[in-house]
Amino acid sequence: MEVLGKGEQGSMYVQMEHVCKTFDGFHASSDVSFGVEKGQLAALLGPSGSGKTTILRMIAGLDMPDSGDIAINGVRVNDIPGSRRGIGFVFQNYALFRYMTVADNIAFGLEVQKKGRKEIKTRVEELLELISMQDLGKRYPHQLSGGQRQRVAFARALAPNPQLLLLDEPFAAIDAKVRRELRCWLKEMIGRVGITSIFVTHDQEEAMEVADTIIITNQGRIEQTGTPDEICLHPQTEFVADFIDVARYEALHKGNTVL
């Protein structure tokens, strides 16, 4: 297997190089290149239709790039199916299996891997505890609140011990009141598990508050990659300068909350 991403960029856990993707002539990704370091929480930030979800789906193996290379942990994964890339994926609407209980949802990935019954049971209990839903294992998804569903989706994605967690608009389906709370919860969880994570969002406040690295997308291109500070203080393109609301960033920095 080819080893990529060990060059000048240093040791990137996820590395996209010159990735292009079109859907029926629509350029969803044009020459996308960026890297995410191990253990980091990165945000793909951009207006809707800017190609951020496509990027996430290509990393997951749900969509195939037309050209360019995708590497995870130094290994080119273009030809490796998503199920063998060591990733966990949280869908925008969580995509919980609606005919399975919470516990069965979490256990599914382990069952597919033919893990022992005892091992599955222990792991499910461990994850239910992690998301503080020990007593709700027997519920069905439709009996849960939006926030609870998100936590289950998170636990389900983590169950098979992935090395990379991908989240598509994880807070979009949650009402504004709880969103903030969940955001902190998710950041803390990801930190506790210590897993490299990439999430998609169109909400800059969300990205600023949660992410270590922000990758700004626009019309299928990467406008800028950097820490929240770098992006706010040194926007490299006109689009970024326009898109990022610096006042809001400063307010956030002072500890005031702008909603």
Partner 1 sequence: MAKKVQRTYQQDIVGDGISSIQKVREPHRERPGKGVKYVLTGVCTLFLSVMLLLPLTVVVTNALRDGWEAYREAVSDEYTIKALQLTLLAAVTAVAVNTVFGLFASFLLSKYYFRGRRILAALIDIPFAISPVIAGLVFILTFGNVGWMGDFLKSHDIKIVFAVPGVVLATVFVTFPFVFRELLPVLNAQGKDEEEAAALMGAGGFVIFRRITFPHIRWALLYGVILCAARALGEFGAVSVISGHLRGKTNTLPLHVEILYNEFNTTAAFAVSSVLVVLAVLVLIARNIVEWKKDR
By beta-carbon proximity to partner 1, the closer residue of 159 and 211 is: 159
Q: Should residue 84 be labelled a site residue for partner 1 when binding is judged by CB under 8 A?
A: yes
CA distances from 128 to 103, 104, 199 (A): 8, 11, 22
Task: Count the neighbouring beta carbons within 10 Å of the beta carbon of residue 160.
Answer: 17
Q: Does 86 bind partner 1 (CB under 8 A)?
A: no
Q: Which of 11, 67, 83, 134 binds partner 1 (CB under 8 A)?
A: 83
Only segment of 97-105, 191-199, 232-240, 243-251 that touches partner 1 (CB under 8 A): 97-105
**Least Å from the CB of residue 219 to partner 1:** 19
Residues 19/70, Cβ–Cβ less than 8 Å: yes
SS3 101: coil
By CB under 8 A, tell whether 91 contacts partner 1.
yes
Angle at 229 between CA 59 and CA 209, to 5 degrees: 65
**Beta-strand relationship, 75-76 and 221-226:** unpaired
Nearer to partner 1, 3 or 112 (CB): 112
Regarding 172 and contact with partner 1 (CB under 8 A), the answer is no
Round to whole Å and give the CA distance between 32 and 24.
18
CA distance 85 to 1: 14
Binder of partner 1 out of 112, 184, 246, 258 (CB under 8 A): 112
What is the C-alpha to C-alpha distance for residues 107 and 101, in angstroms, rounded to an integer?
Answer: 10
Candidate ranges 90-98, 178-186, 202-210, 236-244; the one touching partner 1 (CB under 8 A):
90-98
Q: Say how many residues touch partner 1, by CB under 8 A.
A: 28
Which spans of this chain sit near partner 1 (rule: CB under 8 A)?
23-24, 60-64, 81-84, 87, 89, 91-93, 95-100, 108-109, 112-113, 156, 160
